[in-house]
Amino acid sequence: MLSRKLNRFFSWGEYFPNRNLYVGGGHKYNTRYKDYFSQHQTYGLEGKEHTYTHTSKDYKIHRPWDTVRFWFKINILAQWEFFTYRYLRAMDITTMAIVPASCATFSLIAATVFKPFWIYSGVSALVWYYRVRDKVSHPEFDELEIKDYLYNNEIVKKYFSDQTSYVIDCGQEYDKFNIDEYKEYSGSTMARLFNVDCNTTTGFLKMCDVNTDARMTVHFKTMPWSDQKYHCSHPFMFTDLWAEINCKGVYEKIVFIDPKKINKNIFIIL
């Protein structure tokens, strides 16, 4: 009799019918068979049912970005996801020369007489990290500046409104290996040492309007530009901006910025 009760108490058996349902996503609120600290615990053979079902108000709001794991994924790891298809931008002469320099200094760290190499190794590694991170990061553009051009145009306002239109898709990428297209880059030895392209981008912006059912694709190109007054780079300099509108068989093409009329010199980024 005692052995039977012990067997019934310590075995999974029929007294734990809902354990797999709980673990597999079945009766979530039936916590009689919940595991604590990797051990199976119960309230006994005659466990009482819960008379209250928890709601969302009973739980503390959990923000995953408050945890170290998700912070690392969003702020650090996300920057390097672009490395898989944008790593060729980081293969300029300067960045690639830092790699053997870092390896040489790291190999001499163990030598006591070369203690200053700790500093050299750290500095070279940080320089390489920040250069590669900036090269492979996603390019940016000023969406508000594009919308200023759009909603100040009479043709666009016939089909689109700021209150009823929304963006359905967008994309932007660096122009690959176009260093010979701009004389500022092609004619400068310093620019070729630090770059494999001219840091120009090509992108698009697709929009839709709810009321008119119109579709619009905005095409744009950007280049780095320096304000001669303050000598600061401006990454949102649009050199080409035009849009295509399709609405119930009607096609419209609007040119906002003509690249032939741009008289600004490109900014050399080192």
Summarised one tens digit per residue, pLDDT across range 173-211 is: 999 888 888 888 888 888 898 999 888 999 999 999 999
As a whole number of Å, the CA-based R_g of the chain is 31
Residue 116 has pLDDT above 70, yes or no: no
Predicted local confidence at residue 240, as pLDDT: 93
Average pLDDT, the chain: 77
Q: What is the largest CA-CA distance in the chain?
A: 98
Which of 75, 103, 136 marks a domain boundary? 136
11 inside domain: yes
- Who's near 26: CB < 8 A, 6+ residues apart? 18, 20
pTM: 0.66
Residue 3 has pLDDT above 70, yes or no: no
Residue type, 127: V
Q: Which domain holds residue 199?
A: 143-261
- The token pair that represents 54 in the structure block: 């928890």
Query: Is residue 124 located within the same domain as residue 147?
Result: no
221 inside domain: yes
- Who's near 108: CB < 8 A, 6+ residues apart? 114, 117
Query: Is residue 169 located within the same domain as residue 198?
Result: yes
Q: Mean pLDDT across the stretch 148-176?
A: 91
Summarised one tens digit per residue, pLDDT across range 28-45 is: 555 555 555 555 555 444
Domain count, the chain: 3
Query: Is residue 148 located within the same domain as residue 251?
Result: yes
Which of 58, 80, 98 marks a domain boundary? 58
